[in-house]
Amino acid sequence: MKLWGGRFSSKMNEQANHFHSSVSFDQRLYRQDITGSIAHAEMLGKQNIISESNADIIVKTLEQILADIENGALVIDNKAEDIHSFVEAELIKRIGNAGRRLHTGRSRNDQVVLDMRIYVKQEIDGICTLIAGLLQSLLTAAKEHTKTIMPGFTHLQKAQPVTLAHHILAYFQMFKRDYSRLKDCRERTDEMPLGSGALASTSYPIDRNYVKEKLGFSVLTENSLDAVSDRDFCIEFLSSLSVIMMHLSRFCEELILWSADEFSFIIISDDYSTGSSIMPQKKNPDMAELIRGKTGRVYGSLMCVLSMMKGLPLAYNKDMQEDKEAVFDAADTVKACLIVFDGMFKNIKFNKSNMYRSALGGYTNATDAADWLVKKGVAFRDAHEIIGRLVLYAIDKKVTLDELPLDELKNISDIFDESLYDAISVETCVNARNIEGGTAETAVLQAIEKAEKLLRDLKL
């Protein structure tokens, strides 16, 4: 049944009808659609826009339709135009003319944006729960590795020694921001649009605040034109999801590198690895690679909706139907990636001895050697040049800085003395940076304490 058939003298072309239909994907909004319709029907009855008896039978029948869909007794018809048409047609089929009164005072334009706002709020809540779980996993690992020393990198070249805990807590900060970003997005999504009509609201004496309260929204949308044509909340949601995926992808890239034989920093569990069809020795980090690959898929969803919206005049345009598949797919992808990543990370074995040996190489203590000279009164630029020449000398001799005997150090600068050796041990290098946000164990423990408080505040 078409909700708009009275204006037309012929049936819609079959191919055009299939092209136009959205029920194949928007049927996942059936709960949100029926929930919104129940609140709308109750309001219509309360306001005497329709009789209380009509409102009661509409509500009871909608509740039964929801139950029938949930238990499989009612199968959504893929030939329907959309989920809204299907539900209304089923309602009319069951109760006749009373069902025809449900759509009084609303349009599919404000109905669909209501459904999407409810959906996005619910997805944000679910994704935030997954992020909170990942934050807990990261914190647990960080607490276990406050003394595990590893090389830090810039340009993928060894730079300075850090602890594994400090490295993991960097990702904790990223996902903490992701959590906060989603919560901010939820606040702007939490606006109730029903009552905006097609674009110009309605002449019926509806009670929007009643519907807002019934559906658990915080505020009402303030402009009917904006309400039906706004998809900013979808774009913001997709943007937040894209940043989450970027963070997951960066972490996966490091895990892929760390699992390679050249690093051998970690062993990814067999549960989250695959093999080769031809090379029997292979163990591939496919879960991490898939997450890295799916990041582009979520970016694509964001670009899809941004591009779709950029040239649309007010108010609703059919182009906006394209928001749903992008939002649905991105939300599904992010949830799957968070679940798999969390499981993979919790089962990783860290090779602490290899990390430590790697931190000893690459002259990661060179900056501390320069700082030692500065503390002896040498200007930093001069100290930088001296240590640069010292590193070049050590490279030529194929030794580390601390393996150079004192007499050879003095050939570079007579300021060097025995105290340098302790100053440039990797343990000293790490623990000398005892400032807030630094690598020292005491600073990292303080960061862990703050992270624990955050998770307590999130009631985990």
The 3-state DSSP class for residue 310 equals coil
- For residue 315, whether the previous peptide bond is cis, meaning omega lies within 30 degrees of 0, is yes
Residue 207: exposed, middle, or buried by beta-carbon count in 10 A (0-12, 13-18, 19+)?
middle
Distance from C-alpha of 280 to C-alpha of 274, rounded to nearest angstrom? 11
- Residue 350's SS3 state is strand
Cα(387)–Cα(385) distance, integer angstroms: 6
Place of tokens 């319709």: 37
Using alpha carbons, list the distances in angstroms from residue 87 to 34, 79, 449.
7, 13, 51
Q: Which amino acid is at 35?
A: T
Are the C-beta atoms of 429 and 364 separated by less than 8 Å?
A: yes
Structure tokens at 332: 């599904």
Q: Exactly one of 51, 276, 307, 353 is catalytic; name it.
A: 276
* Contacting residues for 110 by C-beta, under 8 A, at least 6 apart: 193, 194, 195, 196, 197, 198, 224, 227, 228
Whether 425 is catalytic: no
Q: Is 276 a catalytic residue?
A: yes
CB 139 within 8 A of CB 222: no
Catalytic residues: 155, 276
